[in-house]
Chains A and B, each alone.
Chain A
Amino acid sequence: MQLSEQDIEHLAKLARLNLDKTTEQKFAEQLSRVIDYVEVINNEQITDEEKKEFGGLSPIEFRTDKPGESDIKNLEKLPPKKEGKYIVSPPLT
């Protein structure tokens, strides 16, 4: 298997997901099969010439930030827990 239950446990920690042992075991099995399938991409070689042509990842061009008016009254209704204007969150530590 490409992914062990320990790998899933580690990935779940990185992705902030609380998984039980049964789910970890099931995911290890299912995702290993998916990884076996997508592995086919590593049998395909791309020539250096093509790599140069494709130029790696596209550069990201950001637009200039322009401050403007914003109506936040609809956003203010969304947080499940609020105190005055503040959104309540559990303590960071």
Chain B
Amino acid sequence: MEIKLLTIDQLQEAYASGELSVEAVVSAYLDSITHQDSKIGAYLEILGDQAIKRAEELDDKLQKGEKPTGLFGIPVAIKDNLCLLGSKTTAASKILENYVSPYTATAVEKLLGAGAVILGKTNLDEFAMGSSTENSAYKPTKNPWNLERVPGGSSGGSAAAVASQEALVALGSDTGGSIRQPASFCGLVGFKPTYGRVSRYGLIALASSLDQIGPFARNVKDAFKVYSTITGPDPNDRTTVKAPLYDEEILNKGFKNLKIGMLRDTFIEGMDEEVTKKTQEAIKLMKENSAEIVEIEVPRAKLSLAVYYIIVTSEVSSNLARYDGIRYGLGKEFKEAENFFDYTKRVRAQGLGLEAQRRILLGTYTLSKGYADKYYHKAILLQKAIAKDFAQAFKKVDVIFGPTSPTVAFKLGEKFEDPLTMYLSDIFTDPANIANLPAISLPIGFAHQLPVGGQFMGPRFRDDLVFQAAAAYENLSGIANLSAPKV
């Protein structure tokens, strides 16, 4: 039995029948990390001893007759911007090099409560700023499908871990596509819930009004199981809402009663032709199988990327103002520093990477006197306009389908020196964050020997419709449980 090919249901059946122990499964995943991760670089910290200890505790419970449900015995990786009590949480920044989480994030607490085993903390673009994981202060992560390519970002470590069988599922965070774009680049399912469905307590903030935590998995059902575990209201995050939990049955409904929208301007100039072709084939496949597809317009959605970069950088300049190296973090000595402000300037310049510095400066500009009306306030008005246009569109359709990214995984270094080109790789994912919509990316095929992702977006708080559509497509295409070749 190839342990690492088993899904959550299959693993738990094997636990229940006594065919497998949690310890054997966790060891198999840890072995995979030992053998491959020096080449892939998915993890910043591997929590092997803790994982084995926890696996033994879970095996004891099995011995005592406990039935494996929820995420019992499931090996999970978590992005290193999520706090886990007693472990380092660096957000891949030097400024948090010595930061040990004083508490556990709600989403992680829920995973542990459901029986998951945490294997380690995964790499990301510093403070989740980026689309390639090259902005990590520690190391770049490689795409397991081709080690010369990026895994996407910012949750590139989590995506690479799942794609290379170094974890069964993982948590990431998505502010403008940071789960969906790496899922697309690595051949995985990645889901961004509606803003407010998952608590952000214990997630190191990038842009608080847009950040959401969500799952990576190799199939829709496993992603749904992780999502169902972490969703729900939390007194520690006032933006969370009480909303219904969905029955797994929604994954078997097919395209029944689902009207699928396609944006009139789906295929943009400069898009990879092979990605366009794969997306068109996916649409054809759905049409041939009696899914109803209609063309729609969301007139102001094309402004999402510009609106996104103004709102994000504005919030970044405010959120990152707290890092002064004095209360926690870097703690460098600068003997020549004349005073507190001089010290802070030096510690921030050393502790924060170039992309973080760029975004802080841009946000300082868009919020400054004389420019705030022109940029930040205008962007907030347009965000509401975009959300209104999407709400109008969702009166005509249930979900919207399109590509997740204009290209397949690009080469390491290809876009690194050109921030604007890097930002453009988020063009299809930003709208869901700007309009606070649920959205999922799932594999729809291959181009240039690399995975291609398709995206379903749904109306606000209708996370169920997005899962229903994704599961229906997955059943139809048979593309699921992809794993990159061993390195």
Contacts and interface: CB of A to CB of B under 8 A. Distances in A.
Interface string B408-432: 0000000000011001000000000
A11 B377 contact: no
A31 B328 contact: no
B361 A17 contact: yes
Nearest to A61: B238
A44 B382 contact: yes
A8 B328 contact: no
B167 interface: no
A16 to B, nearest CB: 5
A80 interface: yes
B310 A89 contact: no
A50 to B, nearest CB: 6
B369 to A, nearest CB: 11
Contacts of A11: 361, 364-365, 368
Contacts, number: 139
Interface string B328-362: 11110000010111111110110010100110111
Contact of B85 (A18, A35, A74): A74
A77 B357 CA distance: 28
A39 to B, nearest CB: 8
Contacts of B85: 74
Interface residues of A, number: 47
A81 to B, nearest CB: 6
B138 interface: no
A62 B237 CA distance: 12
B254 interface: no
Secondary structure class of chain B's binding surface, majority of residues: helix
A61 B100 CA distance: 32
B374 A38 contact: no
A16 B365 CA distance: 13
A37 B310 CA distance: 11
Contacts of B321: 15-16
B378 interface: yes
Interface string A19-36: 100010001001101110
B368 A14 contact: yes
Nearest to A36: B420
Given A34-B423, A79-B328, A15 B360 contact: yes
A87 B329 CA distance: 13
Given A38-B375, A92-B340, A78 B382 contact: no
A16 B98 CA distance: 21
Instruction: Report the 4 A-B pairs with minimum CB-CB distance, sorted nearest first.
Output: A80-B331, A74-B102, A78-B328, A18-B349
Given A19-B357, A31-B362, 5 more contacts: A30-B419, A31-B358, A34-B362, A44-B382, A80-B329
22 contacts: A11-B364, A12-B361, A14-B368, A16-B321, A17-B360, A18-B349, A27-B357, A27-B361, A34-B419, A35-B362, A37-B309, A42-B374, A44-B303, A44-B382, A53-B388, A56-B381, A57-B377, A74-B86, A77-B102, A80-B326, A87-B326, A89-B326
